[in-house]
Amino acid sequence: MQFLLSRLPLLASALFMAAGLMSFQGEPAPFSKLRSGLEYRIYRRENGRYVLRPALPATGDPSYATRVGRIMSLHLEFRTATDSVLMHSRRQGGGQPVRVPLDTIRRGQAGGVEEALSLLQPGDSGVFRLNVDTVFAKSFRQPVPPFVRRAGATLTVLAKAEKVQTEAEAMQDVQRQMQLAQEQAKKQAAQQKLKDDARILAYLKQNKLKALKTPSGVYYVVTKAGTGLKPKKGQTVSVLYKGLLLNGKVFDSSERNGNKPIEFPLGTGQVIPGWDQGIALLNKGSKAILLIPSGLAYGPRGAGTDIPPNSVLRFNVELVGVK
């Protein structure tokens, strides 16, 4: 979307990272209309209620010039003519607002999303009905997707404007939010680490295994001691393996790959951290069980459909070669 291009890449890329939209109760008021054909209803909260703002001049909001060059924080939702949701920023971005650079509305943008957002002042909530061909040609710069065209000739945009800031103020907000998100992620990781440790200890007891533990939290059981040297960082190791969830489900193995060992340079981040740490503990020729907490495996994202989020993993490994 051209209207999101900015000197602030972080802000411009935030279209799909944002917050929530209000719903309006009762029979909706008729749309007002700009000269470009854009239809709109704009509400402002007064005394605890949303009140319809008076219609603007056909040329748009005269006060918009005072906002040009600033950054608007707002929440967005895009819907087809049949009310199918194309984008809902709160659902897709963890509650963070969209930040849109405001610029002079040029002739080529009339009737597009840029013009719709130019009508909003901080605190406003708007419902906009736009021509789908105009939006995709002028704002999205791409053909209308077939499923959108089949839905009808219009596109509805719901928007809730939070505030208008200078570029510096907006960047400070972004940095604060990133810091808060990082702090929250660290807190959640620490909590998950305790849960994983408890799960591993229970698993060891249930399966009558005696394991050693690294400072980072990887548990390992050497089932056959090798006689070779331990590999060093940067050396290429060859490993036969079987990966399982703690419920016994196998999600990957060397057998599935023709019984060929996997090769990788140790300690360079080409495998999960639990592998880099666990394989480094073994002598060449050793067989072992590695129990890897989720924070040293695939974390809260998981991996595909086979490894759920926050999964503790078991690997049966054999270090067959060190180059």
Element (H, E) at 239: strand 236-245
Tokens of 74: 């707002």
CA–CA dist 317, 292 (Å, integer)? 12
Q: Is the pTM of this model over 0.85?
A: no
Is 115:38 a contact under the CB 8 Å cutoff? yes
Tokens of 144: 């209308």
CATH 3.10.50.40 fits 192-322, yes or no: yes
Phi and psi at 295, nearest 5°, equal: -65, -20
Rounded to a whole number, what is the largest CA-CA distance in the chain? 85
Element (H, E) at 171: helix 167-206
Tokens of 14: 């935030």
Amino acid at 259: N
Phi and psi at 22, nearest 5°, equal: -85, 160
Q: Which pLDDT belongs to residue 105? A: 79
Q: Which pLDDT belongs to residue 107? A: 64
Q: What is the pLDDT along the chain (323 residues), one digit of tens a residue?
A: 333 333 333 333 333 333 333 444 456 678 999 999 999 999 998 888 889 999 999 999 999 999 999 999 999 999 999 989 988 888 876 677 889 999 887 766 788 899 999 999 999 999 999 999 988 888 888 999 999 999 999 999 999 999 999 999 989 988 998 898 889 989 999 999 999 999 999 999 999 999 999 999 999 999 999 999 999 999 999 999 999 999 999 999 999 888 899 999 999 999 999 999 999 999 999 999 999 999 999 999 999 889 999 999 999 999 999 99
Query: What angle is formed at CA 297 by the lines to CA 244 and CA 14, rounded to 5 degrees?
Result: 130
Q: Which pLDDT belongs to residue 2? A: 31
Q: Which pLDDT belongs to residue 93? A: 65
The fold adopted by the segment(s) 2-165 is: Chitinase A; domain 3 (3.10.50)
CA–CA dist 182, 188 (Å, integer)? 10
Is 139:165 a contact under the CB 8 Å cutoff? no
How many residues are recorded in the chain? 323
Is 122:95 a contact under the CB 8 Å cutoff? no
Outline which parts of the chain fall under CATH 3.10.50.40.
Answer: 2-165, 192-322
CA–CA dist 81, 197 (Å, integer)? 51
CA–CA dist 34, 41 (Å, integer)? 11
